Structure 1
């Protein structure tokens, strides 16, 4: 049996669901439609696909003769949302909207021996971790900003681990450059004091999950909003690129590292994010198989999905109300004219007599 599960947004904590959910009644072929095949977006779906595969389902295959994506979106029964109320604004959700935010977050693994030794060698001052994600490469950073960071890092007592693709000229001795780094394992390390990030959603979730304060430098998309959350929740600071100076970077990093409130706020929100009855991965697997077991689970679908945009926005009702209001105004106008004419006629008659 072939079933297409359209995931609008998805994610989950990498904890095994084997033994926690009953075995599936059957195994199925499942097509995962990814809205964007970027590395970070792919990593978001990997835990769900691996968990489904572990339960015997066949999942990344191409099905022939797929309907248009608009039809798939209209007929979807389940939306796995990469969100959690502890790290976003709470909102009412339909039964078909299941929060599985931070599904990709996992317990830390040991670091490579040379990297562990380098981090430990930083002593009590600790380490600053700097990464702009998988889409915006470090070498694409304008040279004026690169020089600002190089000078700022030279002034820090901490060591700096910088994810940077290519050769970095002018780096001081306390800076180590690598084109790839095990981000979650680093964020969980007690010597990593702050994470300089672009503010991508997955990086934000990983940082809070592993209780590491942030300095967010938004680049595009939802990163500005995520930076505002970091500022307002007290888990770090956010700066715009046009604000960056050597002194500004040094001052903000020093504040985040030395002020305990950032670590305390991150620990508080992390505790809320981790405190769940079931893991996001378990929820994602259960509801995916629920839709399959119930042949598309039409009982989950919101009737509003079948409305046209005119009906959904109630434009037909708005037009009807406006028409009724117009007719009412016309009737009132006629009535006022009739009353005015009668009063005018009576006044003229009295004047004649």
Structure 2
């Protein structure tokens, strides 16, 4: 009897292994020129996919960050470089195997300026043209990707339109990835319904409820952002025709996406009408919290009931770019408070208070999950904000560039954050801001409320499970083309039935005009008949009257 169980179990094990290998998919993830936080997001998501039996291969460009080894044997990558030895491209390092170099000076000064950001975007057209030319002209890379026999591609869409003709050439169902609030730029060319009437665009700092002037500004922003993307597609279409003749131009392929993974949720984004394969996966990078290192955990616990304030500006931003004036003002404010401060900073720092601990790297998610954490001072990057909301930690926001100002507006509206201007804030202003955020219980109460909303989803799935479910479905159904919206084939006038309204209006107007002409003619004929009748009647009376007079 004791041999019976293994005899039954062994076939089941082999069957499970066979099914797992049969269902395993090979997924190509293509990052943008500079992926920043999305790269970390897809490290976590890719690891989850790999743990479920799939193979994930990353295609990315070199950047200025140091990346740890991939965490799973089913995860591989290809790193591309750009020849910028002559320094002709502003945002790349000046070397033969160049990588993206973040223009921190520009971003710190004008990182949230709408006009400057879009102006700089248009200046990068020539760089993207050259990079696209190198990518699509790399026949050995394309042969290598074809040999890997992928089932599906996931493309980070921001400034990455050139890779869509590549995945089309490889014959892969393609899922887009969007790493911020779902509005502006490439999103306006998808089949999702994102009207500027209630979907605020990037850098506008508007909510979904807008006044008439705000809707005018938002509509202008919508048109400009789409024009920038269309301009880039128009320029890249020449490269596509050169290397992949017969391939559709990039912007038309955005409409043909088989799905979309949107890295936001309804707390930090606007509810929208989305196609069935467009899903929100906000928080997909969040992992189960791990215990802190003993020394750090002891330091955190020693804060007692006052707790710890965490300070960090994320993965993308080097904390060295923060001004010495602001750091010293923050130190002066911190030493007046009973809390301990854990700060992610680098380099030599002077006048560090005794209640401040400086670290060059911090396990941010694990610290936010710690019961001693009371407040998170951060730059309002989407990843950090999502982590703080998930763990119900109130915030003080000091946005630096791009969409960070938009997120701060939403956080303030939700009552979980207080804004702080890093360029003008004095030690007294910082002290009062921190004191208010720490001592007002409404911030913690609202953070707990939003945390519950974030975790309680209608489908009862985690973001990782939701993304995996969609990807596996699209692999099984070869892209699920039957779920694509037919609106992708309609132009603006057809989509909003403007052509129908114009036709009906023209028909009614023409009928009205014709009816008016006919009525005039009929009326004119009637009048002429009446006049003629009156004349004949008058003449008859005259004749009859004359005869009567003669008789008399």
- Normalising by the smaller structure, the TM-score range is 0.7 to 0.9
After superposition, residues 15-94 of structure 1 pair within 5 angstroms as 23=20, 25-35=22-32, 37-59=34-56, 60=58, 63=145, 66-67=167-168, 69-94=250-275
1:194/1:337 Cα in 2 relative to 1: closer, same or farther (>3 Å)? farther
Cα deviation, residue 330, structure 1:
6.8
* 1:280 equivalent in structure 2: 463
1-structure distance, mates of 2:410, 2:389: 12
Structure 2 residue matching 1:196: 3-state secondary structure: strand
Q: Which residue of 1 aligns with 2:420?
A: 239
The normalised TM-score by structure 2 is 0.53
> Of the two, which has the highest radius of gyration?
2
* Cα separation, 2, equivalents of 1:106 and 1:228: 27
**Could you report, residue by residue, the CA deviation over 1:6-39 in whole angstroms, capped at 9, with x for unpaired residues?**
xxxxxxxxxxxxx9xx957532321113346434
Match of 1:266 in 2: 447
Cα contact 1:129–1:161 (8 A) shared by 2:
yes
On the 8 A contact 1:131/1:198 being kept in 2, the answer is: yes
| Whole-Å separation in 2 of the counterparts to 1:101 and 1:314 | 34
Alignment of 1:212 with 2:212, yes or no, is no
Task: Specify the alignment match of 1:306 in structure 2.
Answer: 489
CA RMSD of superposed structures (Å): 3.3
Q: Give the Å deviation of 1:101.
A: 1.4
**Cα displacement string for residues 287-307 of structure 1 (whole angstroms, at most 9, x for unaligned residues):** 101011011101221111233
Gaps of 5+ in 2: 1-15, 59-76, 78-140, 147-165, 169-248, 529-552
Residue 297 of structure 1 corresponds to 480
Match of 2:360 among 176, 179, 188: 179
| Higher RCO structure (Cα 8 Å, ≥6 apart) | 1
1:256–1:24 CA distance, 2 compared to 1 (3 A): farther
**Per the alignment, in what secondary structure is the counterpart of residue 205 of structure 1?**
helix
Match runs of 1:49-198 below 5 Å: 49-59=46-56, 60=58, 63=145, 66-67=167-168, 69-198=250-379
Task: Report the CA distance shift for 1:317/1:178 in structure 2 as closer, same or farther (over 3 A).
Answer: farther
C-alpha contact (below 8 Å) 1:195/1:213 kept by paired residues? yes
Bigger mean CA deviation after superposition, 206-215 or 274-283: 274-283
CA contact (8 A) 1:129 1:162 kept: yes
1:184 and 1:272 map into 2 onto residues whose CA distance is 19
Please report how far the alpha carbon of residue 46 of structure 1 lies from its aligned counterpart in structure 2 after TM superposition.
Answer: 2.4
In the aligned structure 2, how far is the partner of 1:331 from the partner of 1:169?
87
Structure 1 length normalisation: TM-score?
0.80
Deviation at 1:216, TM superposition (A): 1.0
- Size of the aligned set, in residue pairs, is 330
Counterpart of 1:286 in 2: which secondary structure? helix
8 A Cα contact 1:78 1:300, kept in partner: no
How do 1:322-337 residues align onto structure 2 when only pairs under 5 Å count? none
